[in-house]
Structure formats: C-alpha cells, structure tokens
C-alpha cells in the first residue's frame, strides 16, 4: 500500500489525477529561489520559455542573462558568476547542457568548485517527436561521475520545485534533471524532499522485491507495484531515489537485504545511471540479484512519448516482467 | 595606477628578469611543462602584479581586489613565480611545481593556492569566466576590474568567440582581455596551423575596442591598460605582440619550446644568459 506518512496524492491511482511537466516545477522553484535570495541569477541558451526560466527572467530581468545558442559559454560564464558569489542556474536541454558543455562543467564548475546549478531539460526519450538528437539518456551517468557534483532527478512537478529550491541552498555544483511532457502529479506539498534521503512510496505486504526508481517513471513503478500485489500476490517496495548522488546507501542496502531482490527503473541508459549507482552500492554492501529497466544500449526515435516508453521497454508491463524475472533469481 | 617613472621601469625590468630565472629553475626541477609562453609573458605578468592590479597578497580574498583570470593555464609557471615574488606564498615552493603533494598543480587549480582566481588548462574558457566576474561586479555595483590573459592559439576554440560575442553585446567595460600574440602553438606557427589574422579586425567586428602593443615594453603595457580604463562603451582587448621564449636565445621564436622544459645543461645556459642579459653585463654568479 501507499506510504501515507509521505502524504502522496489521494487521487494517485485515479484517472482524475492532475498532470504537469516537471519543467514547470523547475520554473516555479527558480522563481521562488530568486525571491528568497537576491544572489540567485539565471542563464539561458535561447530556450528560456521551454525550460521555464521565463518567469524568473520576467520578474528579475537584471539577474537574467540570455546567452544565445552557446551552451559552452553559458556554463563558463556561470562558473565565473558562481565564484564571484552568485548562486547560478543554467538552463538548456540536457543533450546540450550538460551534453555539449561537459568539459566546461568538469573543469570550470566541478573542479573549480563554483556554485552553479545545471538544469538539464527534455531529458529521457519522453521528449518524443524531436527524436534521438534531443533525447538525453546519458546525462545521469556523465554528471554523477564528476567529483563535487550532486545529482537530483525529481519524480513530478512538485518534487521538481522542491529540488530546485533545495539546490539553491546547497553550496556547489548540482545537476537537476527535468522532463518535457505532462506527467502525473502524485506527490503533494506535504511530501518530504530531503536531498540524499530516498523515500519508500509503496510498501507491499511481505515484500520480496524492492523497485528503485527516479524521475517520471516512478509513477509507472507504483502502478506496477499495485498491479503485482493485486493480480499476482507479489509484494514489493517502491523506493523514490530522487538523489542519485550522494545516493542513500543505507536505505538501499537495508531494503535489498530485507527483500532479497532489486529492480531499478529509469528513463536513461541502464549503464551508468541509477541502476549502475545502485549496483555499485549493492556490490559493496549486499550483493543482490538485480534487473535493470531503462534504455538498453540503444538510441530511441521520434514518436509519441507514451508509445516510446512502451517500445523501449520502460512501461508498466516491462517493470512487472522485470520483477517476475528477478524473483526467479532470488535466493 | 600610479604614474610611471624611470626608476619604476628599472624595477619592473629587473623583476621580470628575476621571474624568468624562477621559471627556468621551476621547469628544470619539474622535468615537464611549458617554457616559451611563460618567458614571453614575464613582462606582462610583472606589469600586472607589480603595477596595475589593486591587490593585497596578505589578503588574497579581499572583496574589492581586481581579478586576473589566466585562460591559458599551461603558462602557469610564470603566474606561480609572480605570485610567489609578490608575496602570496614562499618562493621555495616554486621547486614543487608539478610534484606530488604540491599546491602548484601542472595547470592552475583555484582551490589549491592563494591568489588564483580560477581553474584553467583546457583552452578557450577564460574570457567566459572573466565575463562571469564582470557581470557579478556590475550587479553588485563593485568597482573592481577584471583582466583576462589569453593565448593566441586558444582563439581557435569556439568557446572563445562565444565569449567575445557576449561581452560585445553587454558592453562590459570593466573587462579587459590581453592576448599573448606570440604566433606559436604546439603543432607550429598559428598562421600555418589555423590562421587567426586579421585578429584585430575580428575583435572590432565583435564590437570591442582594440589596442595593439609591444608586449615587452612596460610603457606600452601599462599605457594600454590605462587606455582600456578610459573606454566606457566597449570591452577592450589588448593584442600584445610577444616573443616566445623571450630572454633565452635558443628558445626565442621556436615553437618546439612551446611544450617542453629545458634539461639541466640547457637550464644552466638559459640562466647564464638571463643573469648577464645576453652577455651585456657581468653576472655576480660567474
């Protein structure tokens, strides 16, 4: 059943559940951070509206800098602003930032320890019709491998807002990942968000598998958990691992030991992302059979977001299959 | 800036010569590193740290200090020597360049050493970072000035021109860029590898004020910076023509000395030349 302590939406499995893109949460969070602290500045690379930096740009025009189509310049200007005492947010699509400007982020933001927050938008294949050039499926890996960098992948618009506000209050480089499409809004204002602390969203009876997820696919994981309990009498735990780095080693290890099997679910390559991070934790503390739901070493294509998620093996059905497969390997 | 007089010029010339010797000693001790660029920029570093910059080596974090951003991090031996001579850290530490447990990293790391304003090495990111400081100074209504020292070769990086375009748009008059126009890079002469000329016209086309100088003439270096202070409607770039390897006859103008250090015999000869100013004076060490 749902973890009621976390105050998730009471309409969570209801067709009337509202939907909102996580990028909207970023826009609201950025605006709030700007209102709370006059040292917050924002930069955009010709994608101000679609990355939702627009509300901040309108309210604080003197603290907003349009860089044009120049992501490398945006990251390095941000590095200077961050060292000079500003709290800097840079927004673009994740394939361009942190895609194209990875080295600038590495040298001038991470190694240089500058106070810059990198907002990677239109992440995952759910960008849809734009096609594989615009579908970031490597960004969690390329950001979490960087020393000094923290990585947040919020699951819905409200968590996205909380993560953005939290990032402004943390010193140093943070990567934030957002999606384009409207997705279920299943947390509430009262749901806690604490960087580095994973939360159990679903607690099944006699759980045999823990499903660890981040980002918008967490909703699919919850549907799968509900169905498995109802249809197959398989109890699972669903863990919202919104912080990929620093990862909640303690909770992940405890739940792996408790259940004896793990499935990770992410809109990202199965190599190097959430699944990789969880595997690193478990190999060290509690070797456990694992299945990985995500992109399987391939690029996707244009198409409707929902259909793409199904075609590339990240739908509810695929999560259920992965749970059953890992159960057979469970000792 | 205070005015210039012959006594000050003599002091600066002697300091630059001392810094060149420091660079040679540090490089030979390190066993790797870049020779030509640091020697070619010794006069310019001297002018900045011993005349132009408002800074206090005893208080490296002073909020209102001028910021000097080194974009081409590989010439850091001259930056380190200058910072040490200015009093940021002990001179003996120069011998630890590029060695394990040293604060003097092969390319500068801001967090490792007092006096560094940024981390650099990968080329083409310095002007952008300087722009970040310039924007912050403008937002905070601070009077400090931002100087960015760059190489000519890194004008082949796209990032450099993205920054040049941005600074022109924002008319960042608190930013002054100085290009070390020494015409060499690792693979050869810049105009053979990937031509940069007409460099002056390029900057002008991006709405910058351009000054060309002899980068070994203290009157010209300091005069150009003073001129930049007086330009309100644009950022200024100073294209400083320098001789790579300046002061060591067998290194001058030879691109093969871009990325290697002298061996012990070469270092001895280089130091002899520097101490005697190319046999013009008797060295007390001979």
Residue among A28, A71, A266, A267 flagged as catalytic: A71
| Angstrom distance (rounded) from CA B66 to CA B144 | 5
pLDDT, average across residues B198-223: 98
| Angstrom distance (rounded) from CA A251 to CA A257 | 10
**Do A12 and A32 belong to one domain?**
no
Question: Could A77 and B136 be called an inter-chain contact, meaning their C-beta atoms sit closer than 8 Å?
Answer: no
pLDDT at residue A37 above 80?
yes
- Tell whether B117 is within 8 A of chain A (Cβ): yes
Question: Could B166 and A111 be called an inter-chain contact, meaning their C-beta atoms sit closer than 8 Å?
Answer: no
pLDDT at residue B242 above 60?
yes
- Tell whether A34 is within 8 A of chain B (Cβ): no
Residues in chain A closer than 8 A to B121 (CB atoms): 107
| Angstrom distance (rounded) from CA B250 to CA A282 | 59
How close, in Å, is residue A64 to chain B by CA atoms? Answer: 11
**Do A179 and A254 belong to one domain?**
no
> Least CA distance to B63: which residue of chain A?
A84
Q: With bands split at pLDDT 50, 70 and 90, how would you rate the model's confidence at B266?
A: very high
User: Which pLDDT score, from 0 to 100, does residue B282 have?
Assistant: 60
**Do A167 and A24 belong to one domain?**
yes
CA distances from B223 to B48, B51, B214 (A): 12, 11, 11
Q: What is the CATH number of the domain that holds A161?
A: 3.40.50.970
pLDDT, average across residues A38-49: 98
**Do A100 and A231 belong to one domain?**
no
Instruction: Examine residue B198 and say whether the peptide bond preceding it is cis (omega within 30 degrees of 0).
Output: yes
User: Which pLDDT score, from 0 to 100, does residue B283 have?
Assistant: 52
How close, in Å, is residue B109 to chain A by CA atoms? Answer: 7
Among the partner-chain residues B139, B159, B166, the one whose CB lies closest to the CB of A63 is: B139
**Do A251 and A324 belong to one domain?**
yes
**Do A213 and A152 belong to one domain?**
no
How close, in Å, is residue B230 to chain A by CA atoms? Answer: 24
Half-sphere exposure of B169 (CA within 13 A, CB side): 12
Q: With bands split at pLDDT 50, 70 and 90, how would you rate the model's confidence at B1?
A: confident
pLDDT, average across residues B169-176: 98
Final residue in a domain of this structure, among A134, A156, A184: A184
User: Which pLDDT score, from 0 to 100, does residue B281 have?
Assistant: 65
Q: What is the dihedral of CA B1, B3, B7, B11, to 10 degrees?
A: 20
pLDDT at residue B284 above 90?
no
| Angstrom distance (rounded) from CA A186 to CA A12 | 5
Question: Is A159 one of the catalytic residues?
Answer: no
Please check whether residue A195 is in contact with residue A243, taking contact to mean a CB–CB distance below 8 angstroms. yes
User: Which pLDDT score, from 0 to 100, does residue A331 have?
Assistant: 81
Question: Could A72 and B159 be called an inter-chain contact, meaning their C-beta atoms sit closer than 8 Å?
Answer: yes
**pTM, to two decimals:** 0.95
Among the partner-chain residues A62, A63, A80, the one whose CB lies closest to the CB of B132 is: A80
- Which of B218, B259, B209, B195 lies closest to B239 in space, CA to CA? B209
* Predicted-complex ipTM score: 0.93
Among the partner-chain residues A63, A85, A108, the one whose CB lies closest to the CB of B129 is: A108
Q: With bands split at pLDDT 50, 70 and 90, how would you rate the model's confidence at B279?
A: low
- Tell whether A76 is within 8 A of chain B (Cβ): yes
Final residue in a domain of this structure, among A140, A155, A184: A184
**Do A199 and A168 belong to one domain?**
no
pLDDT in tens, A310-329: 999 999 999 999 999 999 99
Average pLDDT, rounded, for chain A: 97
pLDDT at residue A201 above 60?
yes
Domains, chain B:
6-275 (3.40.50.970)
| Angstrom distance (rounded) from CA A204 to CA A202 | 6
Question: Could A84 and B162 be called an inter-chain contact, meaning their C-beta atoms sit closer than 8 Å?
Answer: no
In chain B, the percentage of residues whose pLDDT exceeds 70 is 97
**Do A126 and A137 belong to one domain?**
yes
pLDDT, average across residues A252-262: 98
- Tell whether A95 is within 8 A of chain B (Cβ): no
- Out of A234-238, B14-18, B281-285, least confident range: B281-285
- Tell whether B131 is within 8 A of chain A (Cβ): yes
**Do A241 and A269 belong to one domain?**
yes
pLDDT, average across residues A34-58: 98
Segments forming the whole domain that contains residue A120: 19-184
Among the partner-chain residues B67, B129, B136, the one whose CB lies closest to the CB of A86 is: B136
How many folded domains does chain A comprise?
2
**Do A12 and A156 belong to one domain?**
no
**Do A267 and A279 belong to one domain?**
yes
Among the partner-chain residues A41, A73, A113, the one whose CB lies closest to the CB of B128 is: A73
Average pLDDT, rounded, for chain B: 95
Q: What is the CATH number of the domain that holds A319?
A: 3.40.50.920
pLDDT at residue A190 above 90?
yes
**Do A257 and A114 belong to one domain?**
no
Question: Could A113 and B137 be called an inter-chain contact, meaning their C-beta atoms sit closer than 8 Å?
Answer: no
Q: With bands split at pLDDT 50, 70 and 90, how would you rate the model's confidence at B286?
A: very low
C-beta pairs of A165-169 under 8 Å, 24+ apart in sequence: A165/A29, A165/A32, A165/A33, A165/A36, A166/A193, A166/A195, A167/A33, A167/A117, A168/A29, A168/A33, A168/A36, A168/A37, A168/A40, A168/A87, A168/A89, A168/A117
pLDDT in tens, A74-83: 999 999 999 9
Final residue in a domain of this structure, among A140, A164, A184: A184
Residues in chain B closer than 8 A to A75 (CB atoms): 128
In chain A, the percentage of residues whose pLDDT exceeds 70 is 100
User: Which pLDDT score, from 0 to 100, does residue B3 have?
Assistant: 80
pLDDT in tens, B60-108: 999 999 999 999 999 999 999 999 999 999 999 999 999 999 999 999 9
């Amino acid at each position: 059943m749902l973890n009621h302590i976390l105050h998730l939406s009471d309409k969570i499995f209801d067709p009337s559940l509202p939907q909102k893109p996580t990028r909207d949460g970023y826009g609201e969070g950025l605006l709030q951070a700007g209102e709370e602290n006059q040292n917050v500045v924002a930069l955009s690379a010709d994608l101000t509206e679609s990355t939702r930096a627009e509300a901040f740009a309108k309210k604080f025009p003197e603290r907003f800098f349009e860089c044009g189509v120049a992501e490398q310049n945006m990251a390095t200007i941000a590095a200077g602003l961050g060292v000079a005492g500003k709290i800097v947010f840079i927004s673009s699509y994740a394939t361009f930032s942190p895609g194209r400007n990875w080295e600038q982020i590495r040298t001038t933001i991470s190694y240089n320890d500058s106070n810059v927050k990198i907002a990677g938008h239109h992440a995952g294949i759910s960008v849809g019709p734009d096609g594989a050039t615009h579908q970031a499926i490597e960004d969690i890996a390329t950001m979490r491998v960087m020393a000094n960098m923290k990585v947040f992948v919020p699951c819905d618009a409200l968590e996205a807002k909380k993560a953005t506000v939290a990032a402004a209050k943390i010193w140093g480089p943070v990567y934030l990942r957002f999606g384009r499409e409207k997705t279920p809004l299943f947390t509430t204002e009262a749901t806690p968000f604490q960087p580095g602390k994973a939360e159990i969203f679903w607690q099944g009876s006699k759980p045999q598998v823990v499903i660890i997820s981040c980002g918008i696919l967490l909703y699919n994981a919850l549907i799968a958990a509900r169905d498995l309990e109802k249809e197959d009498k398989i109890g699972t735990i669903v863990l919202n691992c919104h912080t990929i780095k620093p990862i909640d080693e303690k909770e992940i290890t405890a739940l792996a030991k408790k259940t004896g099997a793990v499935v990770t679910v992410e809109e990202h390559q199965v190599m190097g992302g959430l699944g990789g991070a969880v595997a690193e934790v478990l190999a060290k503390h509690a070797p456990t059979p694992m299945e990985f739901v995500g992109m399987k070493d391939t690029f996707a294509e244009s198409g409707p977001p929902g259909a793409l998620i199904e075609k590339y093996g990240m739908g509810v059905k695929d999560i259920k299959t992965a749970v059953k497969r890992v159960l057979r390997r469970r000792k | 800036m205070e005015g210039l007089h012959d006594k000050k010029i003599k002091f600066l010339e002697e300091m630059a010569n001392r810094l060149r010797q420091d660079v040679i000693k540090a490089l030979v001790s390190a066993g790797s590193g870049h020779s030509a660029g640091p020697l070619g920029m010794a006069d310019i570093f001297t002018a900045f740290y011993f005349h132009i910059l408002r800074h206090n080596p005893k208080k490296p974090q002073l909020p209102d200090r001028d910021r000097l951003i080194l974009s081409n991090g590989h010439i850091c031996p001259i930056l380190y020597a200058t910072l040490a001579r200015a009093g940021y850290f002990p001179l003996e530490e120069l011998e630890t360049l590029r060695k394990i447990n040293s604060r003097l990293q092969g390319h500068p790391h801001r967090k490792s050493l007092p006096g560094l304003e940024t981390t650099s090495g990968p080329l083409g990111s310095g002007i952008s970072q300087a722009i970040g400081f310039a924007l912050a100074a403008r937002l905070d209504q601070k009077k400090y000035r931002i100087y960015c020292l760059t190489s000519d070769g890194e004008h082949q990086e796209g990032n450099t021109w993205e920054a040049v375009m941005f600074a022109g748009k924002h008319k960042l008059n608190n930013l002054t860029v100085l290009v070390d126009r020494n015409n060499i890079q690792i693979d050869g002469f810049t105009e053979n590898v990937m031509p940069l000329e007409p460099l002056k016209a390029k900057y002008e086309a991006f709405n910058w004020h351009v000054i060309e100088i002899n980068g070994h003439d203290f009157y010209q270096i300091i005069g150009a910076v003073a001129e930049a202070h007086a330009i309100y409607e644009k950022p200024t770039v100073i294209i400083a023509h320098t001789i790579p390897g300046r002061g060591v006859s067998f290194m001058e103008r030879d691109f093969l000395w871009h990325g290697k250090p002298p061996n012990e015999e070469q270092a001895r000869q280089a130091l002899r030349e520097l101490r005697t100013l190319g046999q013009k004076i008797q060295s007390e060490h001979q």
